Amino acid sequence: DILMTQSPSSLSASVGDRVTITCRASQNISIYFNWYQQRPGKAPNLLIYAVSHLHGGVPSRFRGSGSGADFTLAINSLEPEDFATYYCQQTYSLPPTFGGGTKVDI
Amino acid sequence: QVRLVESGGGLVKPGGSLRLSCAASGFPLGDFYMTWIRQAPGKGLEWLSYIGRSGTTIYYADSVKGRFVVSRDNAKNSLYLQMNSLRADDTAVYYCARDQVVTAGDSYDVWGQGTVVIVSS
């Protein structure tokens, strides 16, 4: 199975801050890579698919980048609703695997 | 409105069975691949199973292979997960999700609210 390693596992930030979360795959996964956001007590929501494509309705302050095995999620100017846990995922090969999550809190 | 609603969770004893359902509305289920994912308490996301549009293509995670069976009834716009031989480590919130297959792979663009399964004696 492809191992997805996120860092950091948690971070504290303030409204208006810019934060970055990284995710490293244990092998090259091309662009078969997604980001999800999960607010407390809620189901995950798709944020970004195929590395850098924003899912419908996702604000432009979210940006995904990377290729191969190293990927980054950047959130420009944090809003209160952005405090959540973020998961990366690879769908390059079965089974699809998720990173351990990055909790962004105040 | 595109929506997925899971049901069927509950408390079950080790070794028991449960059948989860996922009702789709706002879109034709038969047009999409579907996935089951779970999240143990305080833990991350774990992919469990994938079923193709017609139900003939199915994959399982090793952790549930041989114990769980995924199926679908496109006429009823419903997805199912039959869970047998349940263990304590199957305790989790179970989500169904719609798989949007694009050129660059799969991603899950619609999720249900989740249904809680607790396996305990």
Give one DSSP letter per residue of B38-94, joined into a string: EE-TT--EEEEEEE-TTS--EEE-TTTTTTEEEEEEGGGTEEEEEE-S--GGG-EEE
* Residue (of B109, B80, B81, B112) closest to B96 by Cα position: B112
User: What is d(CA B13, CA A54) in angstroms, rounded to the nearest whole number?
Assistant: 42
What are the pLDDT digits (tens) for A31-65?
A: 999 999 999 999 999 999 999 999 999 999 999 99
User: What is d(CA A74, CA B77) in angstroms, rounded to the nearest whole number?
Assistant: 37
Helix, strand, coil percentages (3-state) for chain B, rounded to 5, are 5, 55, 35
Contact A50 B61 (CB under 8 A): no
Greatest C-alpha distance within chain B: 46
Contact A92 B112 (CB under 8 A): no
B61-96 burial: b if 16+ Cβ within 10 Å, else e: beebeeebebebebeebbbbbebeebeeebbbbbbb
Measure in Å the smallest separation between the Cα of B70 and chain A Cα atoms. 15
Taking only the tens of pLDDT, chain B with its 121 residues reads 999 999 999 999 999 999 999 999 999 999 999 999 999 999 999 999 999 999 999 999 999 999 999 999 999 999 999 999 999 999 999 999 999 987 778 999 999 999 999 999 9
Q: Which residues of A touch B105 (CB under 8 A)?
A: 31-34, 49-50, 91-92
pLDDT value for B101? 81
Contact A99 B44 (CB under 8 A): yes
Task: List the single residue in B45, B106, B114 with the smallest CB-CB distance to A98.
Answer: B45
Q: Which residues of A touch B65 (CB under 8 A)?
A: none
pLDDT value for B102? 75
Measure in Å the smallest separation between the Cα of A82 and chain B Cα atoms. 18
Quick check: A88 pLDDT over 90?
A: yes
Chain B residue with Cα closest to A41 = B113
Tell me: cis bond preceding A8? Omega within 30 of 0 counts.
yes
Helix (H, G, I), strand (E, B) or coil at B108: strand
